[in-house]
Chains A and B, each alone.
Chain A
């Protein structure tokens, strides 16, 4: 008798399967991966001003697009597709096999991370080629970028899985999830300069991870002199790390304890 496969190795197998499935859904591949690029093209063409000396709107906007890409690709996509999988009976079938829940979650995390990487490469490439985007040259900034993408993508995955408990059906899921994400994007300074927003909006945004991801990304893509323009007068990377970790923990807690495999 062979040993039963480990949760991690099954998680990696599921990641491969999820990517294969995703890559065959042509419409969602194009939409998910190119949407941020299209938005950059629109906003970059409309707003040609500089926000501060040497900081174009495109530069500011790319930081926001990468951060909100993390939310769209992870949280939004999972909170919509998992209820659909539940409606189809796919989750119940998985529940009936020896595959543990953690493997399913790991598979989702891998899918989100990989599609996030592709999305970022497209966005940066497109921005550099057509919108004069400047990418950082210091190693330290790339290091910040790396942990932000890793932690942001994990956090977004965990919260998307946790939130998938809420929609009653797959059909209604997008109506529940999309407005939350769009409002959060406006409040968090993705489409506008954060400090130009009303204070109450800033305060609400500060509870959620997107504001912190966006600010963290600005610390990567904007010159350090811009830090003085932030609400706290600095990048607050330590605080960002802490808040993302707290949300990650919340997401994992509800995913593990409350995940629903079946419609009823």
Chain B
């Protein structure tokens, strides 16, 4: 069953055509990651799905609801979704638990406040004022506020920017736990390793259109792409692209009589494929 259905979505700001006809379908229970360089139309698309922006053309259905409608229906819809925005620095004069407890009152069926605090690893900081939190702790508070309403669908925008590697790993397992609880997640991220670790499917958006939708392993023909075998032959490092790396390694092994000096076998990383797709332009 698809939770999000987008067809022919278009949005312009004056002469700038930010989104030029996007089609998307996101299924219940999956983590779907939207990748793309800045200015590709990623944020505009997500903000239309979140109900923050109106569209010019196309149809959008999120949990069976049009995000741009207003009124009581829209409150009932917001009751079922959670949004973690890119950054916020508000309410520094409240404690973590006060803020989360207050937000829990907005929803018809909120999660338990202490459990949520525990799940984002802020139990020790529950009584601390928000302005005394570190950047990473603040980000985890953002996530806590996004999931306190027990959402069916969670929007995560660049969730781990500014995390150290350990905090990022902890965050990833939190997201995986949310999925196993049945939450559908739309993740936008700049980190390709994050998309690879978390996403069931990824979509690459560039210049306002979706370039490809696939699993991270299959993106851009990655699974069937040629492997590169490199080794040291006397003074030079040699590299060869091949469909049969195992055969090549076996040949090299018999030629060298055992160990192949400095042997490396690689396949293109998600990042290589992604950069190729968006025209090699780094952000």
Contact = CB atoms under 8 A, between A and B. Distances in A.
Given A93-B88, A96-B78, A98-B79, A262 B52 contact: yes
A93 B85 contact: yes
Given A4-B79, A17-B102, A92 B94 contact: no
Interface string A73-86: 00000000000010
Interface string B81-102: 1010111111101100010001
A92 B85 contact: yes
A21 B106 contact: no
Interface in B14-59: 50-52
Contacts of B78: 96-98
B246 interface: no
Contact of B89 (A3, A13, A89): A89
Given A20-B98, A89-B88, A98 B149 contact: yes
Contact of A1 (B88, B91, B109): B109
A97 B93 contact: no
Given A5-B106, A95-B52, A89 B93 contact: no
A25 B85 CA distance: 26
Contacts of A24: 93-94
A90 interface: yes
B11 to A, nearest CB: 13
B105 interface: yes
Given A4-B79, A97-B78, A90 B106 contact: no
A17 B94 contact: yes
Contacts of A93: 83, 85, 88, 90, 145
SS of B interface (majority) = loop
B75 A21 contact: no
Contacts of A97: 78, 103, 106-107, 149
Contacts of A89: 85-90
A235 to B, nearest CB: 42
B102 A13 contact: yes
A264 B75 CA distance: 23
B105 A100 contact: no
Nearest to A23: B93
A66 to B, nearest CB: 28
B108 A13 contact: no
A10 interface: yes
A13 B105 contact: yes
Nearest to A103: B106
A24 B76 CA distance: 33
A97 B90 CA distance: 15
A90 B107 contact: no
A137 interface: no
A228 interface: no
Interface in A32-50: none
A239 to B, nearest CB: 37
B75 A100 contact: yes
Given A90-B90, A98-B149, A100-B75, 6 more contacts: A3-B108, A5-B106, A20-B94, A89-B87, A89-B88, A98-B78
A-B CB proximity, top 6 nearest: A90-B90, A89-B88, A96-B83, A24-B93, A98-B78, A88-B90
Interface of A: 1-5, 10, 13, 17, 20-21, 24-25, 85, 88-90, 92-93, 95-100, 262
